[in-house]
């Protein structure tokens, strides 16, 4: 457990706990407001993210940014991270051992950020954070509360690129996050 961002990031930069470190160009640590009330967690970096070192900068991230814009969410007011910090080859789903190697880093990020709401983007984020028994299709759009944090599972933005019909549900889920956040702020 690291008590500050610098030590945590330095530890991740030196990480070689799994085979993903062998093929990465950059670690993709996380980005945004380190005191955010809303945190988003995705699966892992894609090619653009690996090249630039920032999460959600490719096509899926651009789509997410458009949703943010439409809902009045400032990207720099939320914190965005991933289950794994290095790109899985060919953008495949991280293997269980790879995710397990990174989870303590992510938990440390959550502890440092102290978000009130975490948006879980896709099945990999949902299963690694809330448990393998959860499925994204059945859990999507429904609040889950654990250890004082509210979780909203929704589609990963990359899924929206493959299936246009999911955009409406993604929008509704983010709209619900904004509604709940305002409710928390007003209480």
pLDDT digits (tens, 9 = 90+) for 58-106: 999 999 999 999 999 999 999 999 999 999 999 999 999 999 999 999 9
**pTM of the full structure:** 0.96
Contacts of 14 by beta carbon, 8 Å cutoff, 6+ apart: none
Q: What domains appear along the chain, each with residue ranges and CATH number?
A: 5-185 (3.40.470.10)
* Tens-place pLDDT, residues 4-26: 999 999 999 999 999 999 999 99
Q: How many residues does the chain have?
A: 187
């Amino acid at each position: 457990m690291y008590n500050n961002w610098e030590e945590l990031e330095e530890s991740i930069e030196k990480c070689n706990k799994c085979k993903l470190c062998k093929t990465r160009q950059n670690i993709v640590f996380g980005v945004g407001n380190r005191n955010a009330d809303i945190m988003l967690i995705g699966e892992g970096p894609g090619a653009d993210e690996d090249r630039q070192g920032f999460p959600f900068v490719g096509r899926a991230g651009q789509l997410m940014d458009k949703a943010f814009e439409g809902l009045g969410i400032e990207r720099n007011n939320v914190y965005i991270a991933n289950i794994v910090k290095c790109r899985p080859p060919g953008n495949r789903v991280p293997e269980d051992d790879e995710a397990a190697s990174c989870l303590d880093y992510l938990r440390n990020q959550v502890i440092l950020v102290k978000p009130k709401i975490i948006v879980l983007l896709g099945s990999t984020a949902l299963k690694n954070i809330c448990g393998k028994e959860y499925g994204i299709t059945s859990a999507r759009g429904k609040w889950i509360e654990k250890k004082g944090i509210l979780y909203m599972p929704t589609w990963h933005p990359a899924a929206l690129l493959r299936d246009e019909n999911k955009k409406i549900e993604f929008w509704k889920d983010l709209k619900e996050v904004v509604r709940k956040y305002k409710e928390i702020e007003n209480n």
